[in-house]
Amino acid sequence: MTALRPERESDTSYGQQSYGVPGASEDWSGGAYGAAPRPEPQPYSPEAQARAYPGGPGSQPYAPGPQPQPQPYMPQPQPQPQPVPQPDPYAEPYEAGAGVGADVGVGEPFLPPADEETVALRIPDPPPSDGDSAGDPIVGSRAASRARRDGSASGGRAARRKAAKRRHGRHGGPAEAPAGAPAREGARAPLSRVEARRQARARKPGVAVVASRAIGEVFITTGVLMLLFVTYQLWWTNVRAHAQAGKEASSLQNDWASGKRNPGVFEPGQGFAILHIPKLDVVVPIAEGTSSKGVLDRGMVGHYAEGALKTAMPGDKTGNFGLAGHRNTHGEPFRYINKLAPGDPIVVETQDEYYVYKMASILPVTSPSNTSVLNPIPTGSGFTKPGRYITLTTCTPEFTSKYRMIVWGKMVEERPRSKGKPDALVS
């Protein structure tokens, strides 16, 4: 064994140890070859113990010595906090790559760690990848501070230019966020050209969507046009026809009063009489002919006076005075003739006479080609011999022209205008 080890204690040494000579051989008895012989153990005695250890057993009794006096408390001066040196903003920043243990160059300010780094635990910064001295705390702290300030791991001049461009924008515009920096709330990263095109194609509607939209627009347009047409037919045509018919009736009465119109043959479309149906509150001018545009659509009642459908005039001694009018739209003067009952008066007013008829019968439905209802003795009216009759014709059912409705009347009174209105109009 070549290593040093402590000697075994003897009964008289009380824990004292002695070491052998380095490099000397030793035996189990504790002696060493070439060294002084080991003293033999002595028997225990109080005198020997007192000589070996003064103050031990067998020595003089213990006497306490003088005790130190307590001193009054004196406050110790506290060290004053030293101001933390601030970095020089005009000094050149420390260049990375100095190596472990390198001294800070002249003009390089010492950047103390941030407050949060001195009072709280933190995750250590990762080792720099561009040659910064990771082992030097000063160099590492300076590099980390510069990286946080400039947003760049390298501290060269080019990196500072890039950081300045990111902070202030390339052309003075809004600054770009550095890599790894948290995005501001509401900010969205710009899309690449491929992503923008992909999103534009996704937003572009497909063929089915375009077709459905086109069909929907056609339906909507058609519905609007139909609504406008119905409004025109059911409301505007009546408004216009009533205005035209009222104007024609006033003009006709003024001409009669001034003597401008004389009885005789009338031209198509010319008004010559006024029809009164007191029960239906109808007062409408009668014009020559049954033209739709020239007579019926203007709110007037037309006299059958053309070709085979020519009928008699009210002043004739015998015959059938046939009239036609709209049941719906364009003034609709015959809309409610189905409500007439036998005996209801129908009065025709001309320039010189009042002709009073009494409603006799009604034919609710017949074919439009049934012209026999206009004969001098109308078929189906119940009349059997010649007389002075009136026939009113209109379309049925309402809002259609599929069939015709016929109402007949028989003259019961002829009264000159000079005698005043007949009782049918007065009452």
Question: What whole-number distance in Å separates Cα of residue 213 and Cα of residue 118?
Answer: 67
Q: Count other C-beta atoms under 10 Å from residue 104's C-beta.
A: 15
What pLDDT sits at residue 9? 46
Residue 244 has pLDDT above 70, yes or no: yes
Which of 93-102, 230-239, 325-334, 413-422 bottoms out in mean pLDDT, i.e. has the lowest? 93-102
163 and 252 part of one domain:
no
Contact present, 373 and 321 (Cβ < 8 Å) = no
Structural domain span for residue 157: 88-174
The DSSP string of 414-425 is EEEGGG---HHH
Active site residue 326: yes
Q: End of a domain among 114, 141, 174? A: 174
- Reported as half-sphere exposure (CB side, CA atoms, 13 A), residue 425 has a value of 19
Q: What is the mean pLDDT of the chain?
A: 76
DSSP-assigned letters across all residues of 208-238: HHHHHHHHHHHHHHHHHHHHHHHHIIIIIHH
Catalytic residue among 327, 388, 404, 415: 404
* Higher-pLDDT residue of 250, 59: 250
Q: Output b/e per residue, 143-178; b: 16+ Cβ within 10 A.
A: bbbbbeebbbbbbeeebbebbeebeeeeeeeeeeee
Looking at the fold, whether 159 and 279 belong to one and the same domain comes out as no
User: Per the domain annotation, does 28 fall within a domain?
Assistant: no
Query: Count of domains in the chain?
Result: 2
404 tagged catalytic = yes
Collect all residues with Cβ–Cβ distance below 8 Å to 85 and sequence separation of at least 6: 109, 110, 112
DSSP structure class, residue 359: E
> pLDDT (tens digit, 9 = 90+) per residue, 208-241?
888 999 999 999 999 999 999 989 988 999 999 9
Q: Which two tokens stand for residue 289?
A: 């002919």
Same domain, 310 and 394: yes
Q: What is the CATH number of the domain that holds 316?
A: 2.40.260.10
Residue 127 lies in a domain: yes
Q: Which of 142, 327, 388, 395 is catalytic?
A: 395
Confidence band (pLDDT; 50, 70, 90) for 28?
very low
- Asked if 156 and 288 sit in the same domain, the reply is no
More reliable by pLDDT, 270 or 7: 270
Among 326, 330, 335, 415, the one annotated catalytic: 326
Tell me: do 256 and 130 sit in the same domain.
Answer: no
Cβ-based burial of 31 (10 A; exposed 0-12, middle 13-18, buried ≥19): middle
**Interval 109-138: pLDDT, tens:** 555 555 444 444 555 555 555 444 444 544
pLDDT at 146 over 90: no
Please indicate, yes or no, if residue 49 is contained in any of the structural domains: no
pLDDT mean over 334-363? 96
Domain limit, last residue, from 125, 152, 174 = 174
For residue 10, tell me if it sits in a domain.
no
Residue 288 has pLDDT above 60, yes or no: yes
> Would residue 395 show up in a list of annotated catalytic residues for this protein?
yes
Residue 273 lies in a domain: yes
Q: Say what the pLDDT of residue 75 is.
A: 72
In a domain, 202, yes or no: no
Which of 129, 150, 174 lies at the terminal end of a domain, its last residue? 174
In a domain, 100, yes or no: yes
* Cα Dmax for the chain: 190
pLDDT at 425 over 70: yes
